[in-house]
Amino acid sequence: MGTRKLSNVGVIGLGQIGGSIARSLSTCSDVVFYARSESVRELGRASGLTAVESLEELSGLAEIIFLAVPVDQTGSVLEELLPNLRPGHVLTDVGSTKMEITDTVNRLNLPSGVSFIGGHPMAGNTTSGFSGSSPGLFDNRSWVLTTELGSAIFDIDALISLIGIITGGLSANVMVLEPKVHDQLVASVSHLEHLIAIALVEMVRNSGKEKLAAVLAAGSFRDATRVAMSSAKMAVPFLVSNPFLRETVDEFTKCINGLSQGVSNQNAFAESWESARVWREKLESADAFTDEIELDYSDELASQLVSLSISGLVVSGIEVIGSKVRIKSLAI
């Protein structure tokens, strides 16, 4: 981005994600943050970030506002922020479920001219709080934006602005999905894995041989249970808020039962393993290619981006040129 300034940004919450957003954008935008805890505000100030003392002050300084608080707190923070919002404000969150917050926003009835676009950065680590933040946390990672097409809280200008700041300032790649589709997908590629990790730890910990198991536990166990080290304060709210998690667990149970019954047939099991291995290997060594797509700057742009995202395209850059929008895309 060089030294070009992006829109003024406000970040509410200075945990791992909020801290990473503020630290990343502080080099290319005017950023302020708010955290309820004075000790957290001091940590932010010590790292060179600008703290404000209230949500009212933050909303007066920021055009784009990131609500970087746990899923179960986002609605109440938004409600508290509501009286301070004005036309032109663009709001987004970072929670890993999107249907619940979309329903909350619809219920709150945002002021006219205020836009809300749900967000979910597919990035993170097991260190909670500001100490887990990093300026490069989102580099080349996927960042999902969700919106209900045609809803009163959606604005195409806001979407383009947000894509610009996420791809340009945070170096992430954007996908645009509807909330339901997002929640269905993350149930299988993220939330289920958290349950599996906890289940594996619980099974081994309660085996009666946990001390011996701790000595034997090598890479496969440690890799499979890494997310079990995440804070319950962070993980539990998004797990309980995903309405598709239970059916995803049922699907996984059927799958693993089928595999366990198939181990007696070595050839068939080897075929299943090899098929899974090839697909998994592609995740590490996929050939990505870049392209540029030019679309009309219109209300149809959002639905076009949804279609492109579903087909596997992510947006790595965006530029408005007159009545056209030039999109730099990355397809895998």
Q: In what order do the strands lie in the sheet with 90-93?
A: 50-51, 31-34, 9-12, 64-67, 90-93, 115-116
Are 305 and 315 in contact by the 8 Å Cβ rule? The answer is yes
Q: Look-up: residue for tokens 């097409």?
A: 149
* 267, pLDDT greater than 50: yes
- The pLDDT value given to residue 7: 65
Please state the pTM of the whole predicted model. Answer: 0.91
Identify residue 206 by its one-letter amino acid code. N
pLDDT one-digit tens code per residue, 51-86:
999 999 999 999 999 999 999 999 999 999 999 999
The whole-number average pLDDT for the span 300-320 is 92
Are 238 and 95 in contact by the 8 Å Cβ rule? The answer is yes
- The pLDDT value given to residue 262: 84
Task: Kindly list the structural domains of the chain, giving each domain's residue range(s) and its CATH number in brackets, ordered by start.
Answer: 9-179 (3.40.50.720)
CB atoms closer than 10 angstroms to residue 145: 24
The whole-number average pLDDT for the span 259-283 is 90
* 1, pLDDT greater than 50: no
pLDDT one-digit tens code per residue, 118-177:
999 999 888 889 999 999 999 999 999 998 876 666 789 999 999 999 999 999 999 999
The whole-number average pLDDT for the span 18-30 is 94
